[in-house]
Structure 1
Amino acid sequence: MDLFRRSCCIFRPLACRRWPDLTFYRFSGHNKWSKIKQRKESADIRRSKVIAKLVREIRAAVREGGADVNHNLQLASLVSRAQEMDIPKATIQTAIGNAAGGRGEGEKMMVEARGQTGYALLIETVTDNKQRTRYEIQRILVKNGGTVREQGSSLYSFAPKGVITINGNDIGQNTEPFEVGIEVGAEDVSVEVTEKENIVQFLCEANQLKKMKENIESTGLQTKSVALVYVPQNTVDLSSTETEKAVKLIDALDDHNDVVNIFDNIAKGNNS
């Protein structure tokens, strides 16, 4: 069985720097390994965990950038994702209101780490106790051959980027996604086509995210999600055995209640 059997992804480089191993980004519990993991828990339990993490992210976003979705792009993106998951509006508004009123705990913390074979990990968390969360993540890493690293030791392997997702079906039949990318100022474009969906993602510099969102919407296209991600500047090749161990580690980290996003620099598609 091919461990990396994935949906059809097409990458169109624009007239700009090509980021190595540009991947297709999913958020809030849907890390890039989700299609190859065999979950023991039910879909309902998994959904509950994802919702809980998303609500914590919303609270943290309010504390960092305020409760106005018109001026807090990260909050607007999280609210959009919550709506896509059919999370009740009252639940979303309660999370925003509690955070704006100083109720409820949790703030973001990035843990930098290395896997057993040297690949880099950025583990984004929302926690009410940084010391506890860092200790628990360290235990997961050590158990799976990884280590927590000093601040900056793994971050240098990534570049902060903005990524905007749209419905590919909204693009006219006579227009290519990469043409839209050039028009809106994207650095790169990725397309995922499956039996169920046609999704296009545009990549840009992190500080250009708001501007590119405005450019996309000025063309009449609607954004599905807007997010900040970390794109690897270099990647690490793993064997099939090493990949299985890496998946086990990332799976264990993803199961931690405080972990909301995981970024790695593992090369994809060459581990049969």
Structure 2
Amino acid sequence: MSGHSKWNNIKRKKEKTDAQKAKIFTKIGREMAVVVREGGPDPNVNGKLRDLIAKAKANNVPNDNIDRIIKKAAGEGDKNNYESITYEGYGPNGVAVIVETLTDNRNRTASNIRHYFDKFGGNLGTSGCVSFLFNAKGVILIEGEDLDEEKVMDDCVEAGAEDVDFNEGVAEIMTDPADFRAVSDALSEKGYTFASAQVEQVPTTTTALTEEESQVKMRRLLDALEDDDDVQEIWNNLENEDEI
């Protein structure tokens, strides 16, 4: 995945309507509530919470919202017990799709996910059917037309990054998942702000959709999944996602 293509996808998400942005805030809030209950409300101690705060800020979640979510979770104001369930399947023409969810009703979520795949030309598979086509990687994006590539490269190497790719004003930094938090913290301390920073499922091979019908179905599948409150993340190996 090139940084440029990925940055186009992020910009498109950031340009969604207010209602769609509210859904993103809700999803991040749900995930944040879970990690606060698991590891406490102090991001200096709870590394997962620190990662989520960075993710929330990259998605333009206001600081007041972040503070309110943390205080509510710490005070056990949210009584829902969410569990993490990952679904795997194929979109149109065999595009591999991984769907990560947090749900308080696994029957509802499973039914909805299956419906989306069936409706838009795909099929839901069994655990492991597509995950072998992906590797977990820490992915950090830094965006800026005036990036000093040599300095960014030196800083990333010093921070412990595996690889850095520059493409049209975007630096895409790859890390081992175990090193992601240390690398992102080190770059933050150097003054960098991130367009995106999280551990992702990065495809090892990609599938291109060239027929318009398949492209439309794939976009509708991704949109339906994104609109579901239980869905936290969607990973796929679509080669030309920024074009559909």
Q: Same fold (TM over 0.5)?
A: yes
CA RMSD of aligned residues (A): 3.2
Q: 2:160–2:183: 8 Å Cα contact kept in structure 1?
A: yes
Deviation digits for residues 146-179 of structure 1, max 9, x if unmatched?
12211111211111111223454785x4735434
Unaligned runs of 5+ in 1: 1-20
The answer to whether residue 163 in structure 2 is matched with residue 188 in structure 1 is yes
Separation (CA, whole Å) in 2 of partners of 1:170 and 1:217: 18
1:127 touches 1:258 (CA, 8 Å); kept in 2?
yes
Aligned-pair CA distance for 1:265:
0.7
Q: Which residue in the other structure is 1:154 paired with?
A: 130
Q: Which residue of 1 aligns with 2:192?
A: 222
Work out whether 1:127 is the aligned partner of 2:103: yes
Q: Which residue identity does 1:239 align to in structure 2? A: T
More helix by share: 2
- Residue 58 of structure 1 aligns with an amino acid whose one-letter code is M
Partner of 1:14: none
What CA distance in whole angstroms lies between the structure 2 residues aligned with 1:253 and 1:158? 19
Q: Distance in 2 between matches of 1:25 and 1:100?
A: 38
Rounded Cα–Cα distance in structure 2 between residues aligned with 1:92 and 1:240:
42
CA contact 1:238–1:271 (8 Å) conserved in 2: no
Q: 2:5 & 2:199 partners in 1: Cα distance?
A: 10
1:78 counterpart residue number = 52
Cα pair 1:162 1:229 within 8 Å, conserved: yes
What is the one-letter code of the residue matched to 1:234? T
1:116 paired with 2:92, answer: yes
Q: Answer yes or no: is 1:239 the counterpart of 2:210.
A: yes
Structure 2, unmatched stretches of 5+, are none
SS of residue matched to 1:260: strand
**TM-score under structure 2 length normalisation:** 0.81
User: Given the superposition, is the C-alpha separation of residues 249 and 25 from structure 1 closer, same or farther in structure 2, using an over 3 Å criterion?
Assistant: same
Q: 2:178 aligns to what? A: 207
Cα pair 2:3 2:141 within 8 Å, conserved: no
- Shift of residue 96, structure 1, vs aligned partner: 1.8
1:262 is aligned to 234
Contact 2:91 2:122 in 1 (8 A): yes
Shift of 1:137: 1.0
1:6-25 alignment runs, 5 A limit: 21-23=1-3
